[in-house]
Structure 1
Amino acid sequence: MPEAVIVSGAGPLVHCQWHVVTKRLRRILLRDGELMLEQRTIAVPNPATRSFPATMFKKKPQIKNLSPLKSSERRKLADQIRRDYSLPEPQTEGSQEHDGQTTQPQTLSSIRNALLPDPTSSAKFTTTHGAKSILIAGTVYVGAHPGQEERILWFQLGKDDRLIPTVYTLWLNPDLLPLLHIGETIVGKLKGGADLFAPGLIKPSHRFDERARKDSIVAVAGHKSDTVPRWVGISKADIATLQDNATGTAAEGLHWEGDELWSWSPLNKGGSAAPESIHGWRGLNPEREEADIEDDEPEPEHVEGGVALESSTADLKITDGDVPAEEEHVPSTKGVDDAFMEAFLYAIYDAKKNVPAEPHGLDFPIQPSFLISNMIQPYLRQHSPHYNIKKSSWKGTKKFIKHLDKQLLLKSKDRNGGETVILDIDFKDERVKIFQPYRLPKPKAADTADDSGSGAAKDPGTDQSLGQKLSLQVVYRASSKLVPELLPSKTAFYTSQEITSALKQYIEDNPDLVNESKKRYIKLNPFIANHILGSNPSSDDSKALAAGEIDRGALNRRILDDDHLCIPYHILLRNDQTLEADPSLKPKAGPPPRITLTIERRGGNKVVTAVAGLESFSINPQLIRPELQKKCAGSASVGQLMGGKPGMLEVQVQGDQRGVIEKEILAKRGVKGEWIEVVDKTKKKGKK
């Protein structure tokens, strides 16, 4: 009878015919009806996989500092990817109806963003490759798709100009590469750094993907998760034409789920888990039994089609729940233009309605920032990051104002420095007279607002700040003194918790810094002494330098409190906004904003309360004036903020109304007490 081999090693015992690599084999022989066991060490070639002592990205590569790509360079690289991987040209026709659903055509911009999101950073790296540990250099490209954290999305090796996708890119771009399938046992071997051999492939009943030619980039998935790529390699044979009895190397491994590229993150948090399945990849027939797959008799379902870049994000089943389940409609450029024009007409119509006399509560000249934040965004039909001036045909506020000027809706003027301001608006234009107001998006918390306000305050179509939820987030940028020893990038934003975690990880990676007798104290090394304590030395720093050690908490506070090390920024998030979900949100440098309530005497002995700084909290001063007037039972007016930037408004109301404004006006618009500063100028000097 033929010999059978039982292989001992990790995992369950496998019965095969010399098909699994092992060092220790046991042979069971049947001689004269007696069972005999022979054990010996033998080197057996594996027809499915072969491991090497040192494989690329099995060890951590040396990655230099990241630098952001210019927009033109990012577009150029995205177009190169489209050519290298023969992606379909963007559609120019309008929306199409398929299976009862209307789909928007893919634009060149959307395809580019799906491949290389904006912004994308790059960095040079070096690593070793192959059995001889040959040093090889290349470039990594780092970016974050909507709803996800920063990851290495592409890499380039040596003199090969091609950008090679990581599994993170493949999980978001179905059918980008030809997808090969193997048994789950072989998946474990590949993720250990092995190459793929032809006998390990599960061959379809008819043929492999036609794109799987020699020197092409291919992806590999196991039969259990047959639509989720786990491994990326370069084919060493024409896999598309492989026969049943083919032998030899099918593909050489470049990157896989679990290697150091997959594990990289800005704060060394480790890799993200793969989705359970991805719609759009050519998977196997899910009804086949595992035994059939192991016997190399699969019959995968071959589906023709191109890359579904637009729908990929919504189809993923991410385990951490970062990606929203419902796909958001992406408007066309013309749709954004129309929305901005409607919003401008609505703002003029609403200003005339609230303040009958000209200039209807508006203070000229109007700055571009005021136009967008107070006359466009509150009146858009839909609040979405897709409705952005950069998504319009004008690409900027200046050209938008010029367009309105050509439409004879306003008069504009270019000032020194290239800024364009609005000098006047034609409130009597026929388009304003016949304008029909439409229903605006309702804030989620609007139904919990106080019903005692005026009609303007209760109407969600008038005041979009009513019921909003605000959260103030302080973030930091690292100076060059902390990069790359403590933090990986000068351009990324970090929370205080992330910086603390980075310091903790740095100490864990350098155990010799810990004072064994006093665990709370850290010994000073050249990096801590020169780059941290030496950046802006104080008396406490001198004491620590003299002692040669510093308390952990003091070191953490020293890093966060020194703006020479951590440059503070802030961002005010509205409702469900997050930095991860909306990359268009940009933190602002400087201290967090404040609303100032100034109580002072004006016009003799008349006490008034002036409210300034509302715009920073998405509150339109024009829209709260009627409510203030009714709540305070006195006159209220809106005018230019004295000493403020042009377009910054101030609301004045008779009497000392700080209590009413704080508790009844600002509180239900999401403004917390610590964000309000009260200045009382009516008190006599010397009195508290």
Structure 2
Amino acid sequence: MFKKPFNVKKNTNQRSSDTRKLFNRLKEEVNVDPNLEKKGQLAQVKLTNFEGTQMNVYTIAKTPMFFEFDDTGNLYPSVYYMWDNPKTFPVLVCHEPVLSYLENGADLMLPGVIKSAQFPIPTLRKGGPVAIAFYSSETGMVSGPSAVGCSLMSSETMAENNYKGRGVQILHVFRDQLWEFGPKGLPPTCSVEEWVSFGKGRDEGLEDEDEEEEENNDGEEEESKEKVNAEEEIPEEPMENLLVRCFLAGLKYRFTRNMLPMDVGQFYSQCVLACIPDGRKLDMKKTHFKKFATFLKETNDLNDEWIIRVAPNKQKKGADVVSEVNFSNKLFRDFEVTDEKIVDSAPKDKEQFEAPTILEFFAVTEPVSRLFPRCSKGELLAVRKIREYVANYVNERDLSDGKSVRLDPVLANITHIKTESAVWADIMKEIQARMTPTWHIQWADGREIVRKVNPPKVEFKIENRAGNKKVTLINGLAMFGIDIRKICHQIQTGVATSVSSQWEVQGVEGPQVLVQGNQIHFIADMLTRTYAIEKKYMKGTELAIKKKR
């Protein structure tokens, strides 16, 4: 439905009476009070998709929350609404690899739906809205919901058909054009226990309306008591206020013009988070912005003059950089420091630094798919899991011969080994060589990224400059969550030499650090001892000066 770009015909802000009508209509549909920013501006966007279908999209604070067709009475949620309100609409849970098929335009087939005590099939009506979440067996986490569609059967009909056939017509999915129309956030993840706990009150209320009314009455009395007690407590500062204070403090006291252009993620971690007062914690998910990019956009829109501009990163697809800052902005000039940290404390030692977690996987490819019958193409497997699958394959066909394995036609075709048998190490090496190496990186602040083919690495280079002087170039430090200014200070004081950083170098991901002289020995040792980075994630250490015996 939104796989290809659509044409916006009209975008109209709605009156408060229209807003109330929409919220009342939604409350009748989901039978609960949804978590919505009711003070945000509601707008109706009339558009036509690539198939010529006319529809209405309702946005709140410029984030698409619902959509509907002119000829139907259903109000469908967007993935942005479902991320804030999981289980307010019926939700089916599928295995994570199913998402790639839905993104390519396929409808949901019922055999792909998980049916268990933890993920029961909800009550569905034919033609009604339904959302789809995804469970990862590798991490044990549930993400989403990341797809929305129209149920093609009722839940009773699904059971009668033994859960076979097409179950849901997919209308909207994560990373489609409707998602692009919003702030482009990532789906939230939670544990299975947290997922099961979502919406329990709603399910119990649907079983007995009378009990629900009594519980609501009791709840109102308890709520009134809580309000009385809350009045006696000192109110805590809203998370939005803390974010604004740290943003302005970081912009005014930690950011300089020569850092432009600067990656948005680095600006957030090195300028904004660095200003958080002692004893406080900034949680972006507890603000109504949810994403830092949304905060930057709304900050510019709410003021008479812009304060910061963001542009796409030309060196890295999908990333943004801070391209320009308006230092004459009134909000910027009038800001005064209270308890924000505008000066760095002493460098943290090894115990205090939280190194990113790097997990190595291999993605299943077509040539090796016969060895992994229960895995779909692209599914990530750890080395231990690959070994289990191969061992099961060998044992089922009685191919084991002591420390060697006899090669049947399948193994011979995959490994390209010409002999009749081979040792386990050679077979595993050849199988992994025909899979896609993938690295999952998770930083201490919760950010995650997946890299394929090339692992994250700190790269050392030695170059000759004017007067045949040697300099050490260091690339890739930001990928490991290292504060560039802090490590520059550590190198400068450690080897008593000049250190500088460049924030925009062609062909380099993130900032580049330049150190006078060949200092690879000292820097590599510091990265290992202080920042807990393994040597396998360093490249170019052989360029260090050879120690004399």
TM-score range, shorter chain: 0.5 to 0.7
**Is 2:525 the counterpart of 1:624?**
no
Distance in 2 (alpha carbons) for counterparts of 1:517 and 1:671: 40
Query: What is the aligned partner in structure 2 of residue 436 from structure 1?
Result: 337
Counterpart of 1:425 in structure 2: which amino acid? V
Distance in 1 (alpha carbons) for counterparts of 2:493 and 2:399: 66
Q: Which residues of 2 match residues 352-363 of structure 1 at below 5 A?
A: 359=257, 361-362=258-259
Distance in 1 (alpha carbons) for counterparts of 2:321 and 2:303: 11
Query: What is the aligned partner in structure 2 of residue 644 from structure 1?
Result: 507
**Judging changes above 3 Å, is the alpha-carbon distance between structure 1 residues 480 and 674 closer, same or farther for their aligned structure 2 residues?**
closer
Query: What is the aligned partner in structure 1 of residue 215 from structure 2?
Result: 304
Distance in 2 (alpha carbons) for counterparts of 1:143 and 1:431: 43
**Is 2:428 the counterpart of 1:556?**
yes
Query: What is the aligned partner in structure 2 of residue 514 from structure 1?
Result: 398
**Which range moves more in the overlay, 408-417 or 595-604?**
408-417
Candidates 116, 135, 142, aligned match of 1:144: 135
Query: What is the aligned partner in structure 2 of residue 159 from structure 1?
Result: 153
Query: What is the aligned partner in structure 1 of residue 437 from structure 2?
Result: 568
Query: What is the aligned partner in structure 2 of residue 612 from structure 1?
Result: 475
Preserved contact between residue 599 and residue 680 of structure 1 (Cα < 8 Å): no
**Judging changes above 3 Å, is the alpha-carbon distance between structure 1 residues 172 and 93 closer, same or farther for their aligned structure 2 residues?**
closer
Distance in 1 (alpha carbons) for counterparts of 2:501 and 2:313: 25
SS for the counterpart of 2:373 is coil
Distance in 2 (alpha carbons) for counterparts of 1:683 and 1:469: 27
Preserved contact between residue 521 and residue 544 of structure 2 (Cα < 8 Å): no
Query: What is the aligned partner in structure 1 of residue 362 from structure 2?
Result: 476
Query: What is the aligned partner in structure 1 of residue 518 from structure 2?
Result: 656
Query: What is the aligned partner in structure 2 of residue 346 from structure 1?
Result: 249
Preserved contact between residue 346 and residue 379 of structure 1 (Cα < 8 Å): yes
Query: What is the aligned partner in structure 1 of residue 85 from structure 2?
Result: 111
**Which range moves more in the overlay, 372-381 or 143-152?**
143-152
SS for the counterpart of 1:504 is helix
Counterpart of 2:200 in structure 1: which amino acid? P
Candidates 424, 439, 456, aligned match of 2:324: 424
Q: Could you give the per-residue CA deviations for residues 528-549 of structure 1, whole angstroms, max 9, x where no partner exists?
A: 35xxx545x64x2x33xxx3x6
| Structure 1 residues without counterparts, runs of 5 or longer | 1-68, 71-78, 95-106, 128-137, 180-207, 212-239, 241-281, 283-300, 309-330, 353-357, 441-454
User: Offset of 1:591 from its aligned partner?
Assistant: 1.9
Preserved contact between residue 595 and residue 677 of structure 1 (Cα < 8 Å): yes
Query: What is the aligned partner in structure 1 of residue 54 from structure 2?
Result: none
Q: Could you give the per-residue CA deviations for residues 570-614 of structure 1, whole angstroms, max 9, x where no partner exists?
A: 123334x8xxxx6x7342223222222334442214343332221
SS for the counterpart of 2:454 is coil
Candidates 430, 452, 467, aligned match of 2:353: 467
Counterpart of 1:351 in structure 2: which amino acid? R
User: Offset of 1:423 from its aligned partner?
Assistant: 4.0
Preserved contact between residue 478 and residue 487 of structure 1 (Cα < 8 Å): no
Query: What is the aligned partner in structure 1 of residue 261 from structure 2?
Result: 365
Query: What is the aligned partner in structure 1 of residue 285 from structure 2?
Result: 386
Preserved contact between residue 612 and residue 641 of structure 1 (Cα < 8 Å): no
Preserved contact between residue 134 and residue 143 of structure 2 (Cα < 8 Å): yes
User: Offset of 1:90 from its aligned partner?
Assistant: 0.9
SS for the counterpart of 1:144 is strand
Q: Which residues of 2 match residues 97-496 of structure 1 at below 5 A?
A: 109-112=83-86, 116=91, 121=99, 123-125=109-111, 143-144=134-135, 148-149=140-141, 159-160=153-154, 170=196, 172-177=198-203, 209-210=207-208, 304=215, 335=239, 341-351=244-254, 359=257, 361-362=258-259, 364-368=260-264, 370-372=266-268, 374-376=270-272, 382=281, 384=283, 386=285, 391-392=290-291, 395=294, 399=297, 407-410=305-308, 421-427=321-327, 429=329, 431-432=331-332, 434-436=335-337, 438=339, 456=344, 458=346, 467-483=353-369, 485-496=372-383
Query: How many pairs does the alignment contain?
Result: 401
Q: Could you give the per-residue CA deviations for residues 257-289 of structure 1, whole angstroms, max 9, x where no partner exists?
A: xxxxxxxxxxxxxxxxxxxxxxxxx9xxxxxxx
Preserved contact between residue 308 and residue 324 of structure 2 (Cα < 8 Å): yes
User: Offset of 1:514 from its aligned partner?
Assistant: 0.8
The alignment's C-alpha RMSD in Å is 5.8
SS for the counterpart of 2:448 is coil
Query: What is the aligned partner in structure 2 of residue 90 from structure 1?
Result: 34
Distance in 2 (alpha carbons) for counterparts of 1:617 and 1:160: 49
Distance in 2 (alpha carbons) for counterparts of 1:483 and 1:550: 20
Preserved contact between residue 123 and residue 141 of structure 1 (Cα < 8 Å): no
Structure with bigger helix share is 2
**Judging changes above 3 Å, is the alpha-carbon distance between structure 1 residues 551 and 638 closer, same or farther for their aligned structure 2 residues?**
closer
SS for the counterpart of 2:525 is helix
Distance in 1 (alpha carbons) for counterparts of 2:319 and 2:112: 46
Query: What is the aligned partner in structure 2 of residue 671 from structure 1?
Result: 533
SS for the counterpart of 1:486 is coil
SS for the counterpart of 1:89 is coil
Preserved contact between residue 345 and residue 435 of structure 1 (Cα < 8 Å): no
**Is 2:388 the counterpart of 1:501?**
yes
Distance in 2 (alpha carbons) for counterparts of 1:418 and 1:587: 13
Preserved contact between residue 522 and residue 550 of structure 1 (Cα < 8 Å): yes
SS for the counterpart of 1:386 is helix
Distance in 2 (alpha carbons) for counterparts of 1:163 and 1:340: 50
**Identical pairs, percent:** 13
Preserved contact between residue 401 and residue 420 of structure 1 (Cα < 8 Å): no
Distance in 2 (alpha carbons) for counterparts of 1:489 and 1:430: 55
User: Offset of 1:495 from its aligned partner?
Assistant: 1.4
Q: TM-score, normalised by structure 2?
A: 0.54
**Judging changes above 3 Å, is the alpha-carbon distance between structure 1 residues 557 and 666 closer, same or farther for their aligned structure 2 residues?**
closer
User: Offset of 1:143 from its aligned partner?
Assistant: 2.2
Counterpart of 1:670 in structure 2: which amino acid? A
Query: What is the aligned partner in structure 1 of residue 227 from structure 2?
Result: none
**Judging changes above 3 Å, is the alpha-carbon distance between structure 1 residues 163 and 515 closer, same or farther for their aligned structure 2 residues?**
same
Preserved contact between residue 469 and residue 669 of structure 1 (Cα < 8 Å): yes
**Judging changes above 3 Å, is the alpha-carbon distance between structure 1 residues 84 and 648 closer, same or farther for their aligned structure 2 residues?**
same
**Judging changes above 3 Å, is the alpha-carbon distance between structure 1 residues 377 and 591 closer, same or farther for their aligned structure 2 residues?**
farther
| Structure 2 residues without counterparts, runs of 5 or longer | 5-22, 39-80, 100-107, 114-125, 164-191, 220-235
SS for the counterpart of 1:458 is coil
SS for the counterpart of 1:669 is coil
Q: TM-score, normalised by structure 1?
A: 0.45
**Judging changes above 3 Å, is the alpha-carbon distance between structure 1 residues 350 and 486 closer, same or farther for their aligned structure 2 residues?**
farther
Distance in 1 (alpha carbons) for counterparts of 2:302 and 2:494: 37
User: Offset of 1:616 from its aligned partner?
Assistant: 0.7
Preserved contact between residue 465 and residue 618 of structure 1 (Cα < 8 Å): no
Q: Could you give the per-residue CA deviations for residues 313-357 of structure 1, whole angstroms, max 9, x where no partner exists?
A: xxxxxxxxxxxxxxxxxx99x946x565444423333436xxxxx
**Judging changes above 3 Å, is the alpha-carbon distance between structure 1 residues 665 and 491 closer, same or farther for their aligned structure 2 residues?**
closer
Distance in 2 (alpha carbons) for counterparts of 1:126 and 1:682: 54
Q: Could you give the per-residue CA deviations for residues 136-166 of structure 1, whole angstroms, max 9, x where no partner exists?
A: xx99966239984469999x99832579999
Query: What is the aligned partner in structure 2 of residue 98 from structure 1?
Result: none
Preserved contact between residue 401 and residue 422 of structure 1 (Cα < 8 Å): no
Query: What is the aligned partner in structure 2 of residue 587 from structure 1?
Result: 450
Preserved contact between residue 596 and residue 611 of structure 1 (Cα < 8 Å): yes
Q: Could you give the per-residue CA deviations for residues 8-29 of structure 1, whole angstroms, max 9, x where no partner exists?
A: xxxxxxxxxxxxxxxxxxxxxx
SS for the counterpart of 1:627 is helix
Structure whose alpha-carbon radius of gyration is higher: 1
